[in-house]
Amino acid sequence: MPNNKEKVCIIGAGPAGLSCAMYLEKKGYTDYKIYEKLNKVGGKCWSPKMKVKHNGVEEERSFETGAIMGAITYHAVSEMEEFGGYYHKGPDFKEGEPNMRREFRKLDGTIDHPFEPKVNFSFKKTFGLLKLKKQMKKLNHLMQTKYYGYDCYGHIGVAKGEYFGISKGVDGYCGATKENSFPNYVKGTNPNLKDLALPFSEFCKINGVEEVQRIWIAPFTSFGYGFFDEIPAALVMKYLDVTTALEFVNMKLWTWQDGTQQIYVHVNEKLKHPAILETEVVKVERPEGKVLVTTRGKDGKEKTEEFDKLIVTTPLDYFINYADATKEEKELFSKIIHERYCDYIATFDEGKSPVISGYMVENMVPERLGHAMVYYNRWQCLGNDCPATVYALANHTGTPDVDFDVVMKTMDEDMKKVGFPIKEKHYAQEVYYCPHVSSEDYQNGWYDRLEALQGTKNTYYAGEIISFGDMEDTCAASKDIVGRFF
């Protein structure tokens, strides 16, 4: 029986940690602490304000270094919005709101129209688009039939041909109401689901839908989630399930006026115990029945406290370095791979900034590692003087990593070549991104071993690794973990 009098420690105040606290409160837990090493909440949802000129007048606007968008399938994020009282804009944007428009730009600077049959008409293009449409329909059908059960959050049982979790469908609240947030789970057997352990490119091949990668690549690879020859199909399809992928195609997306970080700032303000900032968890010891957590505050002093339970929402491959990790934890968590996603917000030479976001599809291949894959224009009303965020990946399995400094320089050169010379870079960063395991480890039941570990030594694992590295999957993972174990 859950005991909501227990004292719980949560490591990390990103979307995962704060949603864990919210769901704990919904279950009546009041004795919890969230430790955050930085001086801000939101983790990779970081929305700094910058001074810009609008109609000749200086004003402050929010920009994004991390998460930007959501979609109709963002159910757990909706619960966070409701809790914090801060809501998204879109999918239909009004004047003065951030926008989600985008174009496709070739490396010679010209604009491409890969999905518009009438622009630059050719029979080859028309034939290609017809093939793509047919394969999209086929994939949609396969996911509803052959791969039934694929679209619940998390990976429990998939390697064994089973599914278990909270359903992600459009009506995916699965019975959750304002009064009772904890939904019914879906559960079943489907041996075909084992195919989802394959790299996405292979999964498409065995199903005769290779063309669909043209659609999936922009919101996947350019968003830093890796390349299709290395990432298990389960990760691709759980994040970009058919409904969500079509929302991207049809530009039916959400974004937040003051940035995604504000979702979490608002939630944090409403929590009974807001996150304790600038306090890093540096040691975890778990003698029989207890959890001892040592933190280091901004004064550099260390303090050890006793808890009943621990929720780790931070990278598990780092957790084993500061915790009394068991043999199984060490073995399992050292298999985690993460992407090295790099970005910066740029200001451009006067009148030379992009006026719409752009995908550079030619750079979304491992051979072009470290090159700019996408740039994000947030404020249409600022015209060609709007700062933009530029993004690149620095790693791919089987290709040497690219150094951060080289990535930065390469992105500058790319942007100049396509017509957007960078004046200054702001907030340049490389992030630990999209933790996952290889197809082989997936196939060998890595996620089921993780599930079996939940609760041992009073420790629970949440965050990006559970399902996928986006806001919705991480918040839904918190709902799942708190829902089942607390």
Ligand X SMILES: Cc1cc2nc3c(=O)[nH]c(=O)nc-3n(C[C@H](O)[C@H](O)[C@H](O)COP(=O)(O)OP(=O)(O)OC[C@H]3O[C@@H](n4cnc5c(N)ncnc54)[C@H](O)[C@@H]3O)c2cc1C
Asked if 317 is part of the footprint of ligand X (rule: CB under 6 A), the reply reads no
Site string (65-104) toward ligand X, x via CB under 6 A: -xxxxx----------------------------------
CB of residue 282 vs ligand X: minimum separation in angstroms?
Answer: 7
Residue 338 in the binding site for ligand X (CB under 6 A):
no
Q: Which residues contact 427 (CB under 8 A, 6 or more apart)?
A: 46, 48, 65, 344, 345
Quote the least distance from Cβ 57 to ligand X, whole Å. Answer: 29
Site for ligand X in 407-446 (CB under 6 A): 431, 433
Considering the complex, state which of residue 148 and residue 404 has its C-beta at the smaller distance from ligand X.
404
Nearest CB to ligand X, comparing residues 300 and 351: 300
- Size of the chain in residues: 486
Q: How many Cα neighbours within 13 Å face the side chain of 227?
A: 20
Residues 132-151 interacting with ligand X (rule: CB under 6 A): none
Q: Does 469 bind ligand X (CB under 6 A)?
A: yes
SS3 155: coil
HSE toward the beta carbon, residue 149, CA cutoff 13 A: 24
- Identify which of residues 209 and 372 has a Cβ nearer to ligand X in the complex: 372
Rounded Cα distance, 254 and 278, in Å: 31
| Ramachandran angles phi, psi of 189, nearest 5° | -120, 135
Does 261 engage in binding with ligand X (CB under 6 A)?
A: no
In this chain, which stretch among 9-17, 98-106, 362-370, 438-446 interacts with ligand X, using CB under 6 A?
A: 9-17
Q: Rounded to whole angstroms, how far apart are CA atoms 196 and 187?
A: 17
Cβ atoms of 36 and 260 within 8 Å: the answer is no
CA atoms within 13 A on the CB side of 282: 13
Which phi-psi region, left, alpha or beta, contains residue 147 (left: φ > 0; alpha: ψ -120 to 50)? alpha
For ligand X, the closer CB: 213 or 295: 295
Please give the angle made by the CA atoms of 50, 53 and 58, to the nearest 5 degrees. Answer: 80
User: In the stretch 19-58, what mask flags binding to ligand X with x, by CB under 6 A?
Assistant: ----------------xxxx----xxx-------------
Q: Which stretch binds ligand X (CB under 6 A): 6-14, 22-30, 100-108, 200-208?
A: 6-14
CB of 409 to ligand X, least distance (A): 19
Distance between first and last Cα of the chain? 8
What residues form DSSP beta bridges with 50? 61
Residues near ligand X (CB under 6 A), total: 35
Q: From the list 8, 10, 14, 345, which residue makes contact with ligand X (rule: CB under 6 A)?
A: 14
Q: Does 323 bind ligand X (CB under 6 A)?
A: no
- Binding piece for ligand X, criterion CB under 6 A, among 62-70, 123-131, 185-193, 204-212: 62-70
Give me the 339-358 binding string for ligand X, x by CB under 6 A, dash otherwise. --x-x---------------
Structure-token pair, residue 276: 């304790």
Nearer to ligand X, 211 or 317 (CB): 317
CA distance 56 to 381: 12
Nearest of 201, 229, 264, 354 to residue 66 by alpha carbon: 264
Contact criterion met (CB below 8 Å) for 252 and 266:
no
* Binding-site ranges for ligand X (CB under 6 A): 11-17, 35-38, 43-45, 66-70, 223, 280-281, 313-314, 341, 343, 431, 433, 463-464, 469-472, 474
